[in-house]
């Protein structure tokens, strides 16, 4: 059973994690299904952010050019335009993820990367029939606010957590089973060869692809083993022209990120027992 309410719960967990790192002035820059893990196989398990290899530290709402980084289908318009950017890039990626969670395919797609980037920069996505006909207007509204081209007008993680579709899911989000979405998610997983990703775990927890459960868990454990080291190196080895001077606050935010990664690793190891 998979409904819009399940997608709401999932994106809520992701937004909680994103809001946490944003409060500590860390921008992930590479949010995608492959970098999201569940703490356990239980329904409603906490989502953990993984792979902080491209993460950067910023000063509050600082916008600057920190270099081209991310995964093509999840890049924001400002990154593609090589404009100054900051925390809003993570929200754009969350919008792409939410779109996928609801229908099983991404809002922007083209075999030609140049055409893909043109779509993203233009914000050229829609809600085609028939799959979107059964999605509530509130869900579409949240996606629209996340996929707003102007980063200054894009919803923040904190604001998104207060959106009716997220905080009042029991009365706003549809409980109708989305069988077509489940089938599309399975195809999406196979196409992207996701291992240990949140979408795969969600399907496994509903008795899909049971035979691959241990393989996915093993891949997740392997991929997260060195995350703390990568995050530490990435956040500490910043050049002086692209990162703020080290302060007690910045050190604390680095520690928070590493502790979160340790929690991810421990949770993943627990899955293997």
Catalytic residues: 30
Cβ neighbours of residue 75 closer than 8 Å, sequence gap 6 or more: 89, 92, 117, 120
Contact 85, 78 (CB under 8 A): yes
Query: What are residue 49's DSSP bridge partners?
Result: 36
Cβ neighbours of residue 226 closer than 8 Å, sequence gap 6 or more: none
Q: Which two tokens stand for residue 112?
A: 């030609």
HEC string for 54-105: CCEECCCCCCECCCCCCCHHHCCHHHHCCCCECCHHHHHHHHHHHHHHHHCC
Q: Which two tokens stand for residue 142?
A: 């949240």
CA atoms within 13 A on the CB side of 66: 25
């Amino acid at each position: 059973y998979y409904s819009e309410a399940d997608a709401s719960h999932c994106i809520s967990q992701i937004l909680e994690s994103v809001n946490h790192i944003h409060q500590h002035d860390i921008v992930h820059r590479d949010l995608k299904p492959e970098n999201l893990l569940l703490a356990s196989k239980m329904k409603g398990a906490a989502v953990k952010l993984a792979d902080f290899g491209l993460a950067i530290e910023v000063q509050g709402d600082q916008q600057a050019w920190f270099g081209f980084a991310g995964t093509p289908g999840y890049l924001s318009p400002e990154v593609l335009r090589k404009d100054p950017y900051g925390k809003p890039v993570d929200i754009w990626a969350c919008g792409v993820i939410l779109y996928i969670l609801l229908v099983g395919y991404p809002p922007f797609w083209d075999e030609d990367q140049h055409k893909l980037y043109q779509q993203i920069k233009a914000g050229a996505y829609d809600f085609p029939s028939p799959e979107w006909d059964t999605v509530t207007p509130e869900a579409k509204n949240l996606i629209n606010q996340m996929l707003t081209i102007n980063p200054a007008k894009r919803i923040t993680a904190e604001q998104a957590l207060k959106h009716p579709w997220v905080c009042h899911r029991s009365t706003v989000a549809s409980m109708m089973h989305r069988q077509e979405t489940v089938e599309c998610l399975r195809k999406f997983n196979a196409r992207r060869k996701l291992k240990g990703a949140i979408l795969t775990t969600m399907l496994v927890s509903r008795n899909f692809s049971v035979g691959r459960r241990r393989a996915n868990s093993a891949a997740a454990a392997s991929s997260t083993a060195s995350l703390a080291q990568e995050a530490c190196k990435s956040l500490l080895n910043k050049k002086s022209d692209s990162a703020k001077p080290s302060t007690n606050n910045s050190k604390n935010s680095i520690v928070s990120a590493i502790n979160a990664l340790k929690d991810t690793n421990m949770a993943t190891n627990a899955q293997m027992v």
